[in-house]
């Protein structure tokens, strides 16, 4: 069951690259951008992560935090973070439970083959814990701007 705008976001607690656990409930009162990506250090995922990194000042102004989630290990996340100077937590969901709750795990097609994998997607959760925007199939180019715009619109709304 994919998530819906206006509904409460599924709660989660996952290990982060910092060595600590990050719980969605602890971020109440802020906008939380939860983005799901297939793999550390791949071209599209690197571009997307750098986009969120570079938008840090604007995100801070909007009282928003970013969380990147994939199935990669914490060790992999640390290398990815350090290589690209990422300034937000990368969370590890090796069993895919959170991916499934957010509709970010499913059938993908590549080179004519169908397989299960991480669907690049983003959920924006409002300060009240409800989903304010959902991007179910993200195209990396221009995505961060769309996320910022969704937060601005919600704040003004």
C-alpha 36/C-alpha 105 separation (Å) is 9
| Helix, strand, or coil (residue 151) | helix
Out of 14, 45, 55, 62, pick the active-site residue.
Answer: 45
Q: Is 45 a catalytic residue?
A: yes
- Exposure string over 77-112, b if 16+ CB within 10 A, otherwise e: bbebbeebebebbbbbbeebebbebbbbbeeeeeee
Q: Looking at the annotation, which residues are catalytic?
A: 45
């Amino acid at each position: 069951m994919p998530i819906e705008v206006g509904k409460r976001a599924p709660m989660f607690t996952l290990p982060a690259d910092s060595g600590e656990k990050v719980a969605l409930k602890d971020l109440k009162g802020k906008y939380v951008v939860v983005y799901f990506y297939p793999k550390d250090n791949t071209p599209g995922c690197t571009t997307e992560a750098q986009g969120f990194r570079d938008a840090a000042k604007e995100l801070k102004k909007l009282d928003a935090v970013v969380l990147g989630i994939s199935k990669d290990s914490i060790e992999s996340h640390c290398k990815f973070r350090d290589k690209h100077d990422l300034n937000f937590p990368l969370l590890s969901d090796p069993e895919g439970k959170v991916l499934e709750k957010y509709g970010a795990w499913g059938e993908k097609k590549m080179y004519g083959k169908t397989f299960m994998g991480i669907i690049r997607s983003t959920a924006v959760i409002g300060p009240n814990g409800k989903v304010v925007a959902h991007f179910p199939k993200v195209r990396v180019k221009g995505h961060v701007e769309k996320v910022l715009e969704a937060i601005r619109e919600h704040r003004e709304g």
